Structure 1
Amino acid sequence: MAQTLEQALADFSPGLPFAVALSGGADSTALLLACARRWPGQVRAVHIHHGLQAAADDFERHCRVLCLALQVPLVVRRVQARHAPGQSPEDAARQARYASLAEAVLNDWPEVRDVALAQHADDQVETLLIALSRGAGLPGLASMPAHWQRLGLHWHRPCLAMPSLALRQWLQRQGQSWIEDPSNTNESFTRNRIRARILPVLAETLPAFRETFSRSAAHAAQAQEVLDEVAAQDLALVGVPPRIQALQQLSRARQSLVLRHWLRQHHAATPSTAQLHELLDQLAACTTRGHRLHIKVGQGFMAREAQRLVWHSTAAQS
C-alpha cells in the first residue's frame, strides 16, 4: 500500500536545517509545503533555472511566490548545461543541476548538510524500466537510492514510495497550485513515453507494480553493496593501478568487477560491456612481457605499462 505524504515525512529524519530542491512542479511543491509545515523555520529552498524552455521563468515566479508565502528562504541559480558528445541533454542537465544545487547550499547556507529531492514511485519505476531497456547491470537496476552522499552533502528522496497522483491529489486538497512542465507531454523523451503508455497498462495488469518494482530495485541495491565490498577488497590486493599478474589470479567475473570499481572510483570512467569484454580477453592474453595492450574505455583508453594496467583520459589530451 502506497504511503501518504505525512507517512513519508514521518520516516524522514534530515539534519536541521535542511534544503529542498524546488523545481516548481507538483512534486517538489508538495514536498516543500509539507516540509515547511512539519519543520517550520528549518527549511530552505533552491531553484535551478535551466533556461531550456519558455516556461522556465514561470517556474521561477511560482517558486518565489510560494517561498514568500511559506517564509522559506530561497536561492535561485541559473545554469546552461551543455552536453558532451555522446551524452544526452537530459543527463547533462541533471549533472549540472546537482552541481548547482550543491554549490548553492554550501555557499549560501554552510550550516545545511541535507538536501531533499521530490522524486516519487513513478520516477523510480521509469528509471528501472529505462535501465532494463539498456541492459543495465545491478547498479542500473538498483535505480534511485533513497539516501546517499555526494558533493559534501547528504541527499534524500523521502517520497519514493508515493505515486505521482497521490502527491497531486494532496496538493489539490491543500488548495495549492503548481506549474505544469510542458515538456512532460513530449513523447520524444523515453521517460515520457513510459509514463504515458506503459505505466497505465502496468497499473491495470499489475496494480501493485510500484511497490514490487521498488522492492526489486532495493534488492538490487543491496546486492550491489556486497559486490562493491568485494571489489574494494580485490582492488586492495591487485593494487592501484592494478597489477596484471594479480588480476589474472581472479576469476573473469571478479576481474570485471574490480576493473569497473577501479575505473569508477579513481577515474570516473565507465566501460561499455563490449569494451570490458575486449579488455578481459586482452588481459587473458598478457602472458609475455612484450604483449602490448591499447583499448578504448569510456572517454579514454587502457594501456599496459610495465606490469600494470593504466587508464589515460583522451579528454585531458584534447
Structure 2
Amino acid sequence: MPAPLLTRFLQGLGLAEAPVLGLAVSGGSDSLGLLHLAVEAGLTCHAVTVDHGLRPEAAAEAEAVARICAGLGVPHQVLRWRGWDRRGNLQDQARRARYRLIADWAQAQGIGAVALGHTRDDLAETFLMRLARGAGVDGLSAMQASRSHLGIRWLRPLLAIGRAELRADLAARGVAWADDPSNDNPAFDRVRVRRAMAGLDPLGLDAPRLAEVAGHLAEVREALEAGMLEAARRHARIDAGDVLLDRAVFDLPAEILRRLLVQALAFVSSAEYGPRGPALRLATERLRQADAVTLHGCRLAPGRHGLRIYREARAVEGCTAAPDALWDGRWRMSGPQNNGLQVRMLGIEGLAACKDWRATGRPRDSLIASPAVWQGERLVAAPLAGWQNGWTAATGRLEEAFFLSVLSH
C-alpha cells in the first residue's frame, strides 16, 4: 500500500522546516491538490496564479483560485502575461514567461522556494516524449524534484503521486477544479502521449513504472554530475570570466567531457542551457584535432596548455547596460561615477587604446568581447584589458559560481 498522500507530499517537498513556501496554483486538479496538501501540512504558504490571457475563461479561473485561497487563509496574487506576439512556439514562450513572472513575484515577497504541481503522470509523459526525441540520460531522467533557476528553488513535491489520487482527494474535500481545453487537444505532443499510454498499460509500462525508470536515470545523472564536478575541480579554472580547461580533459570519459563543456559554455554565455548534442559532438571532434570552434555564443580555442572558452564578440555586439547593472548577464562595473556612461564591449578600437593589454596574458579576441565603460565614443575604462582608471569589473566569485553551476542543472 502506498503511503498516505500527505506523507508522500512531505517526503517530496524535502524541507526540514516549514519556511514560507510559494505555490504555483493554476486552478487545475494538480495545483489545487498541491495547495490543499500544503495547507493540511501546516506550511506557511503564499499562492500565485499566472493568467496568460490566452483563453477567455482564464480570468474567471484565477478568481476562483483566489476565493479558494481566501477560504484557506492563504495569501494569493494573480500575475498577468500579455507578451505573446503571435509568433514562435506559444507553449514554450508561455512557460518561460510563467517562470519569470513567478520568480519576480517570489523574490519581491522574500520567498526562496516555489512548489509546482507536477505529478507522477507528468513525469511519465515527459519521459515518453523525450524518449521519442532520442534524449540521453538527462532528458530521460525527466523532471527534477528540486532545481535552482532564476534565483529561486523550484520544488516538485507531487512526483510520487498520481493525478487520479489527487482528484479523488479533492473530490473527497468537495473541491472542484478547472480543466484546460488544451489538455484534450491532439495538436499537442503531450496529449497524444497521454492517450497512447493507455495502450502501454497491458505491457506493464504504466505511469508508476515509467516514473520509476526515470527515477533510476536520475540517480545515474547525479552520479555523472558528481564525476563532472570532480573533473571541473581538477581540470578547470576561471580567468576574467573565461573558462580554462587543461589538456587532460580530452582524456576524460566522453560523457564527463561533454557535461563539462556544456556547463562551461552555459557559464560563459550566461545561458539557461548548453548547446544541443549534435552541434557539441561536432565541435568536440574538431577540438580534439586542435581546431578552434564557435558554439553557443562562445569561442573555444585550443592552445599549448589546454582550452580557453570565452565570449564571442558577435554575441555581445549591441549589448549595453548602465554601469551599475548587469552586462551580458554576468558583469557589473564599479567606478568613480556613473553619469552619462555606458557599458558595452571593448571592441577592436577600444583594445587599441589599451596599451598594456598584452601584459594581462589574455587573448586579444577574449578582451575584444570583454566589458568596457564608455562615454559616447570615448573609452573610459577597460579593467579586464589592463586599463582600470579607477574601475573594476566583477561578476561575483567566479570560481564558485562556475562550480556551483555544475550542480544546479
TM-score range, shorter chain: 0.7 to 0.9
Equivalent AA in structure 1 for residue 317 of structure 2:
Q
Q: Which residue matches 1:289? A: none
Give matches, 1:1-318, under 5 Å. Answer: 4-11=4-11, 12=13, 14=15, 15-39=18-42, 42-82=44-84, 88-107=89-108, 109-110=109-110, 112-195=111-194, 197-206=195-204, 209-236=206-233, 237-240=235-238, 241-243=243-245, 245-267=247-269, 268=271, 269-286=273-290, 293-295=292-294, 297-298=295-296, 300-304=297-301, 308-312=308-312, 315-317=315-317
Residues 130, 3 of structure 1: CA spacing in aligned structure 2 closer, same or farther, 3 A cutoff?
farther
Equivalent position SS for 1:183? helix
Equivalent position SS for 1:135? coil
Equivalent AA in structure 1 for residue 201 of structure 2:
A
The structure number with the bigger radius of gyration is: 2
Question: TM-score of the superposition, structure 1-length normalised?
Answer: 0.85
- The structure with the largest helix share of the pair is 1
Q: CA deviation at 1:153?
A: 3.2
C-alpha separation between the residues in 2 aligned to 1:247 and 1:284? 10
Q: CA deviation at 1:37?
A: 3.0
How many residue pairs align between the two structures? 305
Structure 1 unaligned regions, length at least 5: 287-291
What RMSD, in angstroms, separates the aligned Cα atoms of the two structures?
A: 2.7
Structure 1 ranges of 4+ moved more than 6 A: none
Q: Which residue matches 2:382? A: none
Equivalent AA in structure 2 for residue 61 of structure 1:
E
Q: Is the 8 A contact 1:19 1:45 kept in 2?
A: yes
Deviation track 1:230-283 (CA, whole Å, cap 9, x = no partner) reads 223323314342347344444544432321221234432422222112112211
Deviation track 1:149-191 (CA, whole Å, cap 9, x = no partner) reads 3333333222111211221122112111111111111111101
Name the % identity: 28
Q: Is the 8 A contact 2:127 2:140 kept in 1?
A: yes
Structure 2 unaligned regions, length at least 5: 319-409
Q: CA deviation at 1:314?
A: 5.2
Deviation track 1:89-123 (CA, whole Å, cap 9, x = no partner) reads 3222222212211211221x32x333221110110
Equivalent position SS for 1:242? strand
Q: CA deviation at 1:128?
A: 0.8
Equivalent position SS for 1:239? strand
Equivalent AA in structure 2 for residue 19 of structure 1:
G
C-alpha separation between the residues in 2 aligned to 1:97 and 1:202? 32
